[in-house]
Chains A and B, each alone.
Chain A
Amino acid sequence: MSAIAPKFRFSYFLKSVLDNVFWIVTLFTLIGIPLVMILLFYIELPVINGNKLLDPYLALTTLADPSRQIPMLKSIIHSDFFRITAFPGFGFAALLAAATIFIERKMLAKLQLRVGPFYCGKVEGILQLMGDGLKLISKEIIIPAKADKPIFWAAPVLFVATAAAFVSLIPVASGGWVVADIDVGLLAVFAVIGFFPVITVLSAWSANSKFPFIGGIRALHQMVSFEIPLILSVLGIVILTGSLNLTEIVQSQDHYWWIVFLPIGAIVFFIAILAELERIPFDLPEAESEIVAGWLTEFSGMMYGLVQLGSYVKLYAFAALFVVLFLGGWHGPMVWPPFPEEIIQNGISMGPITLHLPGLPLLDQQMLNDVLWFVIKTMGVIFVILLPRGVFPRIRIDLLLHIGWYKLIGLSFVNIFIALGLLYAGVLGPGGIL
C-alpha cells in the first residue's frame, strides 16, 4: 500500500487503460471514419498522371490493397509537412538526439568501467530513455513562487523551437532533402544561433533564483564570445566556394573535403561548437558541482525534458553543420544495394497469391546512400563531441574567455589567410586548378 496513492491497484490501472482503448475504438469507428469519408470529398487532392491520387469513393479499399497506398505514401513523403515534421526536419533530428542521449550514457559508463543503463528493456537497457521520458511527463511541474511566469513558461518551448529552426536549415541528402533551402543559409544559421543566448539568459533571469542567474550570466559570456570565432572560422569556406548556400557548399566538396585544406578552421569551429553546446570542458553554465545545475536548476518535469531535448537537437544540428561544412556532407561511395528488380517487375509471390506493387522504390538508391553517409559522419562527429566528457575537467571562466577572444580568433584569421592564399595562388576556388 502506497502512502501517496492509497487506493491504487494495478488492476484499476489496467481497467482504466482498457476503458480508454474501448472508447477510442468505438468513437473512431462511429464518428471518425465517416468524418474522414466526408472530409475527403472536400479536400483538393493532387492529380498524378491524370488520375486523382485518392478517389473518395474508394478510400477504404486502400486498406485491402497495399499497392494503392504507394502513390499516397510517395506524395506524403514529398510534401512540405513531412519534410518539416519527419524526415530532414524535427522528427529525424529528435530521433538522432534520443539515440545520442542513450549512446552518451552507455559510452560514459564504459569509459568509467561502469555498466550504465542495464535493466530497462533487458538488452543493455535499450528502453531506459523511454522510461525516463515517461517519468519526466508524469512529474509535477514546479514553478518558483517569485518567478516571472510568462517568460519561465515560454523559455523551454522557445529553446526547442529555435533548435528546430536550426535543424531545418541542414541539408541531409542530394536532390533537395532540406526543409529550407535558402540562398543565405549559412547566415541564417548564425541568425538562429544568436537566439540561444537570449533565451538562456531570459529563462535564467525569470526563475528569480541565484544559481540559474549565475549560470545564465556564464552562458551569456560563453556563447557571445564563442560566436565570433564560430563565424570567422567558416569564412574560409565561404571565400573558397563563393556561396552561402549550404547545399552548394556540400556540392563543392565532391572530390575533396574542406577539412583537408582548412584544418585550422575545422579545429576552431569544433572548439567553438563545444563551447556553444555547453559541453564538457566548457560546461560552466551547467556546472553541477558548483551551481547545482546552472540555468536549468529551477526547471522540473517536462519543462526540463524540453530543454534537454532542445539541447540534444542543437547538438545534432551543430554536428550536422560540421559535417556539411568540413566533412563533405552526404558524399561517399555508393554502398546501398539497389532495389531488387524482380519485385518491381514480377511482384511478390506467396504460394498461390502474387502481389504486384507498381512504382515501388519509394526512395531512390542515391538518396538512401546519401542519408547513410550523412548519418554515419554525423554520428562520428557527435561521438567526438561526447568523448571529452569522460576525459577532461571543467576549465576556469577566465581561461575560457582567454581561449575564445585571444587564441581562437587569432587562429581563425590564420585560417582566412590560408584560404585567401589558396584562392589567389589559383589552387582552389572558382577557376582553380583543383
Chain B
Amino acid sequence: MADTVFLAISVLTIGSAIAALEVRSLIYGSISLMGTLGGIAGYFLLLDSPFVAMFQIAVYIGSIAVLILFTVMLVRRQLIFFKVEDKRRRYAGIGLMLIMMVSLGAIILSSGIKTIQTDAPPIDFRTIGADFLTYYWPALILMALILASSVIGALTLARREDMEDDQRTN
C-alpha cells in the first residue's frame, strides 16, 4: 500500500516538476509547481510527520505559490521572455542536473542515512517543541529574531505616511 502511494506521489511530483519547466503557459506552469509542492507534502505524510506536511501545504501552496501566481498574472510575458530554442543549452542543463543529483545522492547516502530505523514511531510535534526549547535554543532565538524583524518590517511597510489630499478623508 505504502509502496503504491509512494510511487503515485513520485510520479505526481516529478511529472509536475517537469511540466512546470516545460509548459509554455505560465499559469499552467505555476499550477504544476503547486502539484510538485503538494507531492512533497505527500512525502512528509508518508514519513509520519503530518506537522511538517501541513506547514508545507500552508506555506508553500497557500502563500508562495499564490505569490508566484499573482506575479505571473500581472506580467506581460512577451516583454521579458523571448524563446531561445537551443538544443545545446537543454542538454547542458540535463547534464548539470544529473551531476548535481548524483553528487547530492552520494553525500546523502554516505551521511549515515542507512542506519536510520524505519519502524520507529512518529515523532510528536510536542517533542520537537521541547527540543527547540532545550538543545536547539540558539536556532530558535535566531528564527524568532528573523521572524520578529520581518513582522516589524511588514508593519513598517503597511504604515504609510498619507499624502495630503483634499479629496479624501480618512
Chain A residues with CB under 8 Å of chain B are 148, 151, 182-184, 187-188, 190-191, 193-195, 197-198, 201-202, 205, 213, 217, 220, 224, 227, 242, 244, 399, 401-402, 405-406, 409-410
**Does B61 make an interface contact (CB < 8 A)?**
yes
A187-B46 Cα distance, complex, nearest whole Å: 17
A187 touching B54 by the CB < 8 A rule? yes
With an 8 Å Cβ cutoff, the count of chain B residues facing the other chain is: 26
If A183-B125, A244-B125 touch, does A191 touch B54 (CB 8 Å cutoff)? yes
Taking CB as reference atom, which chain B residue is nearest A401?
Answer: B158
Residues of B within 8 A of A406 (CB): 155, 158-159
B158 touching A198 by the CB < 8 A rule? no
Taking CB as reference atom, which chain B residue is nearest A193?
Answer: B62
Binds A, one of B66-74, B78-86, B131-139: B66-74
| B:15-38 near A, CB below 8 Å | 27, 31, 34
Interface of A is mostly: helix
Taking CB as reference atom, which chain B residue is nearest A196?
Answer: B62
A242-B127 Cα distance, complex, nearest whole Å: 12
Contact of A201 among B55, B73, B126 (CB under 8 A): B73
* Binary flags per residue of B106-150, CB closer than 8 Å to A gives 1, else 0: 000000000000000000111000000000000000000000000
A201 touching B70 by the CB < 8 A rule? yes
- Known A-B contacts: A191-B58, A409-B155. Give 13 more (CB < 8 A): A183-B50, A183-B51, A187-B58, A191-B54, A193-B62, A194-B61, A197-B66, A201-B69, A201-B73, A202-B27, A205-B27, A405-B155, A410-B155
Contact of A182 among B50, B57, B65 (CB under 8 A): B50
| 28 A-B interface contacts by CB (under 8 A) | A148-B27, A183-B51, A183-B125, A184-B51, A184-B125, A188-B50, A191-B54, A191-B57, A194-B57, A194-B62, A197-B62, A198-B34, A198-B61, A198-B62, A201-B70, A202-B69, A217-B70, A220-B66, A220-B70, A224-B63, A224-B66, A244-B125, A401-B158, A402-B158, A406-B158, A406-B159, A409-B151, A409-B154
